[in-house]
Structure 1
Amino acid sequence: MSNSNAAAVFTTADLAEAIRAVRTLLGIADVRHGEVDFEGVIRSSDVLAHVRHVLPDLEWWALAGKECGSSEAGGDPADCLPIRVFDWGRPLDRAEPFIAALGPDPAAVRWDLDGWPAVPEAGLEEVSQKYAYLTLSVNSRDLYQDELSQDHTVHVHVRRDDQAARIQWLADQVGGRFTGRVEMAPL
């Protein structure tokens, strides 16, 4: 397993603005073979119904522990709320419907990209898939839904050797700023 550094570059209370920032960054990135991964905490049966409509086969377990219920055990997630949900390797077009289904519940949506481009004027070389990710934390400021909030944060993942320059350049592209906050993200 490897890790990346995820830097917060844009935070807003307006979900549409956060999605605009994500779309801008996806327009910069190489996404030819991109995928999207989902992780979240579902607290209500209404949100669960909407999320399952978008991602019917998602994995889940009760926040109280797997022994209280999980997809692996074949339980009904509606009987085990709140639950943590996961879904991996989905097409990019599943991201926005999932985000729309969340309501007030927190989640992280991670786009696995094919690369970040070279930016010669900023001294940045092309970056391979290994270090090219983008995460939107919805109703949370961190990658793991531990810091709940009513705003949404866009994180860019980069490699260490061009971390500061790449983060700042990507933040500039969305009208954001690098706050200095970087989280280690297992991949």
Structure 2
Amino acid sequence: MSNSAAAAILTTEDLPEAIRAVRTLLDIADVSQGEVDFEAVIRSSDVLTQIRHVLPGLEWWAKAGQELGSSEAGDDPADRLPVRVFDWGRPLDRAEPFIAALGSDLAAVRWDLDAWPAVPEAGLEEISQKYAYLTLTVNSRDLYQEEPSQDHTVHVHVRDRNGGQTTRVHWLADRVGGRFTGRVRLAPL
């Protein structure tokens, strides 16, 4: 397992603004074989119903602990709320319906990109799939749904052999009208 550094570049209470920023970044990235991963804490049965419609067959377990209920055990998640849900490797078109279904529940949506492209005028080389990710945290400031918030944060994950990580983060932040404040979290991949 490897890790990446997730740099916060935009925090806003306006979810449509955060989604516009994500779309802009996806337009920059190589997403020809991209996938999207989901993690969330679901607290309401209405949200759970909508999420299960968007992501049939998702994995979950009781937030209080897997031994108190899980998809693996065949339990009904509606009887175990709140639950943590995980879903990996979905098509990119599942992201926005998932976000729309969340209401006030907490989530992290991570786009696994093929690459961040080279930007010769900024002195940036292409960053391969191994270190090219984008995460939107919804109703949470952190990647793990432990810091509830009424705002949403766009994080970019980058790594550059030549030390251009900060340059790339600033360059990406500029594309979406954000700014890199220095807030970086380790993100296991």
What TM-score comes out, normalization by structure 1 length?
0.99
- Distance in 1, matches of 2:88 and 2:144, equals 15
- Distance in 2, matches of 1:65 and 1:55, equals 22
Q: Within 5 Å, which residues of 2 pair with 1:31-180?
A: 31-159=31-159, 161-180=163-182
Amino acid aligned to 2:182: G
SS, match of residue 183 in structure 1: strand
Q: CA deviation at 1:147?
A: 1.0
Q: CA deviation at 1:45?
A: 0.3
- Distance in 1, matches of 2:80 and 2:153, equals 28
Q: Within 5 Å, which residues of 2 pair with 1:24-35?
A: 24-35=24-35
- Distance in 1, matches of 2:140 and 2:124, equals 30
User: Which runs of structure 1 show a deviation greater than 2 angstroms over 4 or more consecutive aligned residues?
Assistant: none
CA RMSD, Structure 1 to Structure 2 (Å): 0.6
- Distance in 2, matches of 1:118 and 1:66, equals 43
- Distance in 1, matches of 2:175 and 2:155, equals 13
Aligned-pair identity in percent equals 81
Q: CA deviation at 1:56?
A: 1.3
- Distance in 2, matches of 1:6 and 1:117, equals 17
Once structures 1 and 2 are overlaid, which stretch shifts more, 157-166 or 78-87?
157-166
Q: Within 5 Å, which residues of 2 pair with 1:5-24?
A: 5-24=5-24
Q: CA deviation at 1:108?
A: 0.2
Amino acid aligned to 1:16: P
Amino acid aligned to 2:157: H
**Deviation by residue 1:111-156 (Cα, 9 ceiling, x = unmatched):** 0000001111111001100110000000001111111100000000
Q: CA deviation at 1:162?
A: 1.8
**Deviation by residue 1:62-105 (Cα, 9 ceiling, x = unmatched):** 01111110001000000000000000000000000000000000
Q: CA deviation at 1:27?
A: 0.2
SS, match of residue 157 in structure 1: strand
SS, match of residue 164 in structure 2: helix
Aligned residue pairs: how many?
A: 187
SS, match of residue 179 in structure 1: coil
- Distance in 2, matches of 1:185 and 1:68, equals 27
